[in-house]
Amino acid sequence: MNSDIQQFKTEFFKALAHPMRIRILELLSEGEKNVNELQAILGSEGSAVSQQLAVLRAKNVVASVKEGTTVIYSLRDPLIKDLLAVTKQIFDNHLVNAISLLEGIRSE
């Protein structure tokens, strides 16, 4: 079972390993959106957005529901929003440490 969870984590983090996919997840953290909305916000071609959504869908990170001719996307698990927030906190901590290091070097 331990290897199962490790494999899940590996595949999950691979799904997150692209800047546009992270941005899509950030946007979906704010609420459901369709491809056209995501494309407009991202300022990217629909095909690029669709490709990244396909990866996220294949890895069960996002859910999709068809409403007429429109597909609406959402986060499959609301904890993804928390994961993104924790990642931002980790970045902030690294940034604070880097600034402290630079200030220490500057004062020498």
| pLDDT one-digit tens code per residue, 55-94 | 999 999 999 999 999 999 999 999 999 999 999 999 888 8
Helix (H, G, I), strand (E, B) or coil at 62: strand
pTM here? 0.83
- pLDDT tens for each residue of 16-50: 999 999 999 999 999 999 999 999 999 987 799 99
Tell which CATH classification among 1.10.3720.10, 1.10.10.10, 3.40.50.2000, 3.40.50.720 matches the domain 2-76.
1.10.10.10
Bridge partners of 75, per DSSP, are 62
Type of residue numbered 103: E
Taking the domains of the chain in order of start, what are their residue ranges? 2-76
